[in-house]
């Protein structure tokens, strides 16, 4: 391994226990980042398998493969796994790997907390999925079947899968909060000398806002599911109308967390985009300051718009109007970001390596998510689209095209830096085109289904929806299986391949590219000085 | 650890502040329960009626007779409709004796629901009211109500449950029709009912 940065007299060389103990006990930000990313990739396939089973059931009208109860369990756990066990850990993995490298810090500020934060994830994932296994042995009636939103009163009455999910969410929440505290302390206290906040890389800025949103809103979710737990087992009546409680209160509490969660998933990706676009356009990032303030504006707005998820719950008109306009106002800072991304590419010397392809795909598809979001934010229109497949298509454009494709962009962009090897550009491009085509094949028909009135979360449907559902299922299977190319490409790249230089991409700027590829186990022990 | 000198000394202060934020967030979730209740009462959200909600039977205006009765507005008529639902797990039947009445705002009106226990066991239950439209709820004042009180019926017993109310004259002139709905929930064996439903599956 390289010792380019190791200095004589420094006791801190690369000694760590071998084998499993290295990973169990590591406090090294790179090791922990790798574990986060590996865990996220595994859970991505677990969540993907669940939804492929759902799409297989929806291939034709009627019930062919599973009972409706099992269908309900699959959709709920699919969402929880994808959000809490795939996307969020992937973003935290990026932060662990890259933020110390980018800001010239030797490690994260709280390395032991970091280790603990990661090792809480596997038990939580097991808790979440264990009821499926228990049901096979006749214990309980399977996993949580309420959808990922836990809406009371259904979740108050549900089987023990709900309890498993509540505890899993508690543990995942604690893990995320520890990760967020770590990232905030790192960014505030460990920047290299001369790196002011307004010289901070945009990826770190995006993550900083995400971390604050997590700290502000995840405890509210924890509180809401705690109330649910006490309603279920300890005789309280927070959401139980029989005792004077209110089920609608749960929806408010849930979405007070749930809407910022969308930006928690997206802000790290928005922070990553300018790096990729500027690298492959060989131009400096356009509108750095505007992007920073847009991040902050979106972060602040995201906590005051939650009730647009529950427009049909019978709110008074003034409240509807307020939530409609505040929601729509988020499109202003978001439009600033889109403008900056496009302006960064404008007249650049662009090349189209895999990360750049995914970044451009992200901009186009995430733009569709934003525009359909504006339609849903309209109170009058939402009455028709609410709880239909239109919503499903919309948030998959936001969270698959916006979230997952953003994460894939980051993986291709930084994989050579992490491993020291170049991935296969041919397989990467194949992965991109299959993903984009299959993604649209899956979700464009769902817009049509929603407009035609097909409700979400149903295992069976009326005959007139058959064709679009069949197309969507075919798309979903191509989409799912083309992700195996991604896994294979990563596997090969980790195992070996063409060696890359420190500055992997010719147009890349930033401290992370000053270090060798792969970076030494301990980096920036002597902090770089920023001019 | 090496490089201690690099680490600024104020990490723990920042961590304490961030943990305080987490604690505040958790407390905020629980604080939202009363805040939401107050908001609903102030705005009539979710059909919560003003006053008398927690008190159950008599509302504060009757308890304090010093407060003058609102004047009757003879110029308009408001139609009030009555419905009732018995929630699953409660072997009761309920229906209003009159499905609707017309009255002037400010005028007191008395109606009754007939509630019958269909089972061969003594059952205790409790009714929760809701008024729609929500804007009308805050001007719908129940003088006497069987809601939020434990009602126990012997096997096969039927009882008329009375209800007296006033619609305040300040009610919005656009509102010509109000619906009052009751939901009866089983109280004494609610947990068991849910469990048994689950076991039946």
ipTM of this predicted complex?
A: 0.84
Q: Which CATH number fits the domain that encloses residue A63?
A: 1.20.210.10
Overall domain count for chain A: 1
- Chain A, residues 236-275, CB within 8 A of chain B, namely 238, 241-244, 246, 248-249, 252-253, 256
Q: Evaluate whether residue A295 is within a structural domain.
A: yes
pLDDT for B62 beyond 70: no
Question: Which chain A residues touch B25 with a CB distance below 8 Å?
Answer: 215-220, 223
CA distance A526 to A389: 54
pLDDT tens per residue, range B122-167: 888 888 888 878 778 878 888 888 887 788 888 888 888 888 888 8
Question: Which chain A residues touch B18 with a CB distance below 8 Å?
Answer: 180-181, 184-185, 215
A14 interface with B at CB cutoff 8 Å: no
B54/chain A closest Cα distance in angstroms:
9
Q: What is the DSSP string of A210-230?
A: HHHHHHHHHHHHHHHHHHHHH
Strand order in the sheet with B158-167: B92-96, B108-117, B158-167, B140-144
- Chain B, residues 129-188, CB within 8 A of chain A, namely 132, 134-135, 148, 183, 185-187
CA distance A284 to A513: 15
pLDDT of residue A498: 92
- Chain B, residues 29-48, CB within 8 A of chain A, namely 29-30, 32-33, 36-37, 40, 43-46
pLDDT of residue B48: 64
Q: Evaluate whether residue A399 is within a structural domain.
A: yes
Are A369 and A393 a contacting pair, CB within 8 Å?
no
Q: Evaluate whether residue A269 is within a structural domain.
A: yes
pLDDT of residue B70: 61
| Diameter over CA atoms, chain B | 86
Instruction: Kindly give, in sequence order, each residue whose CB lies less than 8 Å from that of residue A364, ignoring residues fewer than 6 positions away.
Output: none
Buried-exposed string B129-149: b where 16+ CB fall within 10 A, e elsewhere: bbbbbbbbbbbbbbbebbbbe
Higher pLDDT, B8 or B153: B153
Q: Evaluate whether residue A5 is within a structural domain.
A: no
Residue B101's CB is within 10 A of a number of other CB atoms, namely 15
Residues of chain A where predicted confidence (pLDDT) is lower than 70: 1-14
Of all residues in chain B, the percent with pLDDT exceeding 70 is 75
Burial class (CB in 10 A: 0-12, 13-18, 19+), B15: middle
Q: Torsion-angle region of residue B84: left (phi > 0), alpha (psi -120 to 50) or beta?
A: beta
Tokens, residue B95 = 């229906």
pLDDT of residue B60: 41
pLDDT tens per residue, range B69-79: 567 778 888 89
Q: Least CB-CB distance to A244: which of B14, B32, B128?
A: B128
Q: Evaluate whether residue A205 is within a structural domain.
A: yes
Q: Torsion-angle region of residue B56: left (phi > 0), alpha (psi -120 to 50) or beta?
A: left
Cβ of A223 within 8 Å of Cβ of B28? The answer is yes
Are A446 and A397 a contacting pair, CB within 8 Å?
no
| Chain B residue with Cα closest to A211 | B18
Nearest CA-CA partner of A446 in A163, A143, A54: A54
Cβ of B22 within 8 Å of Cβ of A315? The answer is no
* Cβ–Cβ pairs < 8 A, chains A and B: 114
DSSP B117: E
pLDDT of residue B188: 64
Q: Evaluate whether residue A411 is within a structural domain.
A: yes
Q: Least CB-CB distance to A219: which of B25, B33, B197?
A: B25
Cβ of A219 within 8 Å of Cβ of B8? The answer is no
A329/chain B closest Cα distance in angstroms:
25
Which band of pLDDT confidence, cut at 50, 70 and 90, is reported for residue B196? very low
Q: Evaluate whether residue A8 is within a structural domain.
A: no
The whole domain housing A325 covers: 19-513
Tokens, residue A123 = 């038990």
pTM of the complete model beyond 0.95: no
Q: Evaluate whether residue A226 is within a structural domain.
A: yes
A89/chain B closest Cα distance in angstroms:
20
- Chain A, residues 144-163, CB within 8 A of chain B, namely 157, 159
∠ CA A229-A235-A237, rounded to 5°: 80
Cβ of A223 within 8 Å of Cβ of B43? The answer is no
């Amino acid at each position: 391994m390289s010792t380019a940065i190791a200095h004589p007299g420094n006791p801190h060389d690369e000694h760590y226990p071998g084998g499993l103990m290295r990973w169990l006990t590591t406090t090294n930000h790179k090791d922990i980042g790798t574990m986060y990313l590996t865990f996220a990739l595994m859970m991505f396939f677990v969540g993907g398998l669940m939804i492929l089973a759902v799409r297989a059931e929806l291939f034709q009208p009627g019930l062919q493969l599973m009972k409706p109860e099992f269908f309900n369990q699959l959709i709920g756990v699919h969402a929880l796994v994808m959000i809490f066990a795939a996307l969020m850990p992937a973003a935290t993995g990026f932060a662990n790997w890259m933020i110390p490298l980018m800001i010239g810090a030797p490690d994260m500020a709280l390395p032991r907390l970091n280790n603990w934060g990661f090792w809480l994830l596997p038990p939580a994932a097991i808790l979440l999925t264990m009821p499926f296994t228990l049901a096979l042995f006749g214990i309980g009636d399977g996993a949580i079947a309420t959808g990922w939103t836990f809406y009371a009163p259904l979740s108050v009455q549900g089987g023990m899968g709900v309890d498993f999910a509540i505890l899993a969410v508690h543990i995942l929440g604690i893990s995320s909060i520890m990760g967020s505290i770590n990232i905030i302390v790192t960014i505030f206290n460990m920047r290299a000398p001369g790196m002011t906040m307004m010289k901070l890389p945009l990826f770190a800025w995006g993550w900083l806002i995400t971390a604050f949103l997590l700290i502000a809103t995840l405890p509210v979710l924890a509180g809401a599911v705690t109330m649910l737990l006490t309603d279920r087992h300890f005789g309280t009546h927070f959401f139980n109308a029989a005792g004077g409680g209110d089920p609608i209160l749960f929806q408010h509490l849930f979405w007070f967390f749930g809407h910022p969660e969308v930006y928690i998933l997206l802000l790290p990706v928005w922070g990553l985009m300018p790096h990729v676009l500027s690298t492959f356009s060989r131009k400096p990032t356009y509108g750095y300051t505007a992007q920073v303030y847009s991040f902050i504006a979106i972060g602040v707005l995201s906590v005051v718009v939650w009730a647009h998820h529950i427009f049909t719950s019978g709110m008074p008109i003034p409240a509807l109007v307020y939530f409609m306009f505040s929601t729509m106002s988020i499109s202003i800072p978001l439009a600033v970001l889109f403008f900056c991304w496009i302006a960064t590419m404008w007249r650049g010397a662009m090349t189209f390596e895999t990360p750049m392809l995914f970044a451009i795909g992200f901009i186009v598809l995430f733009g569709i998510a934003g525009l359909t979001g504006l339609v849903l934010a309209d109170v009058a229109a939402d009455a028709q689209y609410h709880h239909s497949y239109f919503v499903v298509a919309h948030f998959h454009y936001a969270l698959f095209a916006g979230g997952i494709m953003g994460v894939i962009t980051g993986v291709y962009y930084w994989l050579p830096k992490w491993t020291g090897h170049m991935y296969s550009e041919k397989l990467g491009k194949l992965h991109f085109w299959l993903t984009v085509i299959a993604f649209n094949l899956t979700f464009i028909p769902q817009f049509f289904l929603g407009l035609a009135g097909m409700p979400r979360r149903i295992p069976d449907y009326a005959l007139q929806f058959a064709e679009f559902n069949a197309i969507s299922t075919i798309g979903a299977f191509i989409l799912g299986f083309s992700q195996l190319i991604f896994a294979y490409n990563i596997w090969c790249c980790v195992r070996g391949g063409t060696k890359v230089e420190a500055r992997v991409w010719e147009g890349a700027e930033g401290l992370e590219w000053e270090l060798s590829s792969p970076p030494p186990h301990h980096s920036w022990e002597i902090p770089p000085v920023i001019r | 650890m090496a490089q201690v000198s690099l680490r600024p000394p104020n990490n723990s202060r920042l961590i304490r502040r961030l943990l305080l934020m987490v604690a505040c967030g958790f407390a905020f979730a629980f604080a939202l329960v009363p805040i939401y209740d107050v908001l609903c009462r102030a705005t009539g959200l979710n059909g919560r009626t003003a006053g008398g909600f927690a008190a159950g039977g008599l509302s504060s205006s009757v308890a304090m007779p010093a407060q003058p009765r609102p004047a009757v507005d003879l110029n308009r008529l408001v139609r009030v409709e009555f419905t009732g639902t018995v929630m699953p797990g409660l072997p009761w039947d309920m229906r209003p004796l009159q499905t609707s009445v017309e009255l002037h705002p400010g005028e007191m009106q008395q109606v009754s629901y007939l509630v019958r226990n269909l089972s061969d066991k003594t059952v205790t239950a409790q009714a929760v009211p809701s008024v729609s439209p929500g804007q009308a709820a805050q001007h719908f004042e129940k003088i006497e109500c069987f809601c939020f009180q434990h009602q126990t019926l012997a096997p096969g017993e039927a009882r008329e449950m009375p209800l007296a109310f006033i619609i305040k004259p300040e009610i919005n002139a656009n509102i010509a029709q109000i619906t009052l709905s009751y939901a009866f929930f089983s109280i004494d064996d609610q947990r068991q009912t849910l469990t048994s439903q689950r076991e039946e599956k």
